[in-house]
Structure 1
Amino acid sequence: MRGILKLAFKLLVNDRSKFTALLTGITFAAFLMVVMTSLFAGVLNRASSTVINIGADMWVMDPSVQTVASSIGLPDYLLDSVRSIPGVKYAVPLFSGTALVKLGNGTYQAVSVLGLDDTSLFGRPTMLQGNIQNIFAESSFILVRDSEFSKFGDAHLGTEFELNDHRGVLVGIAKAPTSSLFGLPTLYTTYNRAIQYIPNPRFTISYVLVEPKSAADVPEIQRRVAALGYLALTRAQFENRISDFYKYQTGLGINILIMTTISFIVGLSISGQTFYTFILENLEKFGALKAIGTKSRELIAMILFQSTVTALIGYGLGVGLCTTLTTLAKMRLPDYASRITFFNLALALGMVVLISAISSYVGVRKVLRIEPFDVFRG
Structure 2
Amino acid sequence: MPGHWRLAYKLLTNDRGKFFALLVGITFAVFLMVMMTSIFAGVLKRSSATVTNIGATVWIMDPAVNTVANTIPVPDYLLDAVRSIPGVRYAVPMYTGGALVKLRSGHFQSVSVIGLDDSTLFGRPPLEAGNIQDIYGENGFIVVRDAEYRKLENPGIGTEFELNDHRGVIVGIARVAAGGLFGVPTLYTTYNRAIQYIPSTRFTISYILVEVKSPAAIGQIKREVTRLGYLALTRDEFIARISDFYKYQTGVGTNILLMTVISFIVGLSISGQTFYTFILENLDKFGALKAIGAKSRELVVMILFQATFTSLTGYGLGVGLCTLLISLAKLRLPNYASQITYGNLGLALGMVVLIAAMSSYIGIRKILRIEAFDIFRG
TM-score for both structures, normalised by structure 1: 0.99
Instruction: Please give the alpha-carbon distance, in whole angstroms, between the structure 2 residues aligned to 1:214 and 1:290.
Output: 69
How do 1:143-162 residues align onto structure 2 when only pairs under 5 Å count? Answer: 143-162=143-162
Structure 1 position 154, deviation (Å):
3.2
**Residue 56 (structure 1) aligned with residue 60 (structure 2):** no
Structure 1 position 369, deviation (Å):
1.0
Letter of the 1:375 partner, please give it.
I
How do 1:229-240 residues align onto structure 2 when only pairs under 5 Å count? Answer: 229-240=229-240
The percent identity for this pair of structures is: 71
Ranges in structure 2 where 5+ consecutive residues have no aligned partner: none
How do 1:256-295 residues align onto structure 2 when only pairs under 5 Å count? Answer: 256-295=256-295
Letter of the 1:376 partner, please give it.
F
Letter of the 1:288 partner, please give it.
A
Q: How many correspondences in the alignment?
A: 378
What secondary structure, in the 3-state scheme, does the structure 1 residue paired with 2:168 have? strand
- Report the counterpart of residue 347 of structure 1 in structure 2: 347
Letter of the 2:152 partner, please give it.
F
Instruction: Please give the alpha-carbon distance, in whole angstroms, between the structure 1 residues aligned to 2:292 and 2:224.
Output: 77
What secondary structure, in the 3-state scheme, does the structure 1 residue paired with 2:363 have? helix
- Report the counterpart of residue 91 of structure 1 in structure 2: 91
**Residue 375 (structure 1) aligned with residue 375 (structure 2):** yes
Instruction: Please give the alpha-carbon distance, in whole angstroms, between the structure 2 residues aligned to 1:154 and 1:243.
Output: 31
**Partner deviation per Cα, 1:336-362 (whole Å, 9 max, x = no partner):** 101111000000000111111111111
**Partner deviation per Cα, 1:94-139 (whole Å, 9 max, x = no partner):** 0010000011111100000000000110000010110111100000
Letter of the 1:56 partner, please give it.
A
**Partner deviation per Cα, 1:177-215 (whole Å, 9 max, x = no partner):** 111100010000000000000001000000000011111
Letter of the 2:164 partner, please give it.
N
What secondary structure, in the 3-state scheme, does the structure 2 residue paired with 1:73 have? coil
- Report the counterpart of residue 112 of structure 2 in structure 1: 112
Root mean square deviation, CA, Å: 0.8
**Partner deviation per Cα, 1:255-299 (whole Å, 9 max, x = no partner):** 000111111111111111111111111111100011112111111
Structure 1 position 40, deviation (Å):
0.1
Instruction: Please give the alpha-carbon distance, in whole angstroms, between the structure 2 residues aligned to 1:131 and 1:345.
Output: 42
**Residue 241 (structure 1) aligned with residue 205 (structure 2):** no
Instruction: Please give the alpha-carbon distance, in whole angstroms, between the structure 1 residues aligned to 2:361 and 2:215.
Output: 50
Instruction: Please give the alpha-carbon distance, in whole angstroms, between the structure 2 residues aligned to 1:136 and 1:280.
Output: 78
What secondary structure, in the 3-state scheme, does the structure 1 residue paired with 2:154 have? coil
Instruction: Please give the alpha-carbon distance, in whole angstroms, between the structure 1 residues aligned to 2:155 and 2:278.
Output: 61
- Report the counterpart of residue 306 of structure 1 in structure 2: 306
- Report the counterpart of residue 170 of structure 2 in structure 1: 170
- Report the counterpart of residue 31 of structure 1 in structure 2: 31
**Residue 44 (structure 1) aligned with residue 44 (structure 2):** yes
Instruction: Please give the alpha-carbon distance, in whole angstroms, between the structure 2 residues aligned to 1:99 and 1:372.
Output: 79
Structure 1 position 237, deviation (Å):
0.3
Structure 1 position 7, deviation (Å):
1.1
Which stretch has the larger CA shift, 308-317 or 5-14? 5-14
Instruction: Please give the alpha-carbon distance, in whole angstroms, between the structure 2 residues aligned to 1:210 and 1:171.
Output: 27
Letter of the 1:348 partner, please give it.
A
Letter of the 1:300 partner, please give it.
V
Instruction: Please give the alpha-carbon distance, in whole angstroms, between the structure 1 residues aligned to 2:309 and 2:105.
Output: 60
Structure 1 position 371, deviation (Å):
1.2
- Report the counterpart of residue 297 of structure 2 in structure 1: 297
- Report the counterpart of residue 217 of structure 1 in structure 2: 217
- Report the counterpart of residue 70 of structure 1 in structure 2: 70
Instruction: Please give the alpha-carbon distance, in whole angstroms, between the structure 1 residues aligned to 2:8 and 2:214.
Output: 59
Letter of the 1:99 partner, please give it.
A
Structure 1 position 6, deviation (Å):
1.5
Instruction: Please give the alpha-carbon distance, in whole angstroms, between the structure 2 residues aligned to 1:246 and 1:219.
Output: 27
Letter of the 2:98 partner, please give it.
T
- Report the counterpart of residue 131 of structure 1 in structure 2: 131
Ranges in structure 1 where 5+ consecutive residues have no aligned partner: none
Letter of the 1:197 partner, please give it.
Y
- Report the counterpart of residue 101 of structure 2 in structure 1: 101
Letter of the 1:316 partner, please give it.
G
**Residue 121 (structure 1) aligned with residue 121 (structure 2):** yes
What secondary structure, in the 3-state scheme, does the structure 2 residue paired with 1:123 have? coil
What secondary structure, in the 3-state scheme, does the structure 1 residue paired with 2:66 have? coil
TM-score for both structures, normalised by structure 2: 0.99
